[in-house]
Amino acid sequence: MNSDQANKWLTLLANFGVVIGLALLIYELRLSQNLAETEAAVRRLDQMNIAQVELATNELIVPIREKALAEGAQSLSLIERSRLQAWEAAVRHRMRSQYIEYDRGFLDKKTADSIIRDAAKFLPYWEDVGYELGDTEFEQAIRGAAGRD
C-alpha cells in the first residue's frame, strides 16, 4: 500500500515537472520571438539611418536625384541615370528585405503598411527612372497600394 501511495506521489510530481517544463518552454519561445521582432525593428531603423546618412553625404546622388525629381529622368545623362538607378534599386532592396521580415512575422503590420505606402508613393518616380514592377509579393503589394491591381 505504501508503494502505491509513493507511486502516486511520484507520478504527480513528475506530471507537475512536465507542466512546469512546458510553461518554461512557452516562456522561452515567446521571449525568443520578442527578441527576434526587436532585432528586426532595430535592423530596419539602422538600415534607414544608414541610407539617410549615405544620401545626405553623397555628393553625386543628391544633385542627380533632385534633378530627376524636378525635371524628370529624361533630363539625366546616361551616367547620372545609371547612378540613380543603382541608388533607387538599393532603396527598393532595403524596403523589400523589410517587407520579407514582416512576411516572416518579425515586423508588425503597421510598419509593413508604411513601407508599402512609401513604395507606392515613389512608384511613378521609380518608373520614370526605369523600374518596372515584377511579380514578387512585395511588388504585388505596391501595385495594390498604388491602385494598379
Q: pLDDT tens, 57-108?
A: 778 888 999 999 999 999 999 999 999 998 898 889 889 888 988 888 888 8
Q: How far apart are CA 94 and CA 51, in angstroms?
A: 9
pTM: 0.69
Neighbours of 117 (CB within 10 A): 14
For the segment 115-133, the average pLDDT, to the nearest whole number, is 91
Which pLDDT score, from 0 to 100, does residue 16 have?
87
- DSSP code of 93? H
Give the pLDDT confidence of 20-45 residue by residue, as tens digits.
999 999 999 988 888 887 887 778 77
For the segment 97-126, the average pLDDT, to the nearest whole number, is 90
Q: How far apart are CA 71 and CA 38, in angstroms?
A: 41
Q: In 3D, which of 106, 116, 109, 114 has the Cα closest to residue 138?
A: 116
* Per-residue confidence band for 1, with pLDDT thresholds at 50, 70 and 90: low
Residues 76 and 67 sit within 8 Å (Cβ to Cβ)? yes
Phi, psi of 135 (to 5 degrees): -115, 15
**What cell numbers appear for 132 in the block?**
518596372
Which pLDDT score, from 0 to 100, does residue 48 have?
74
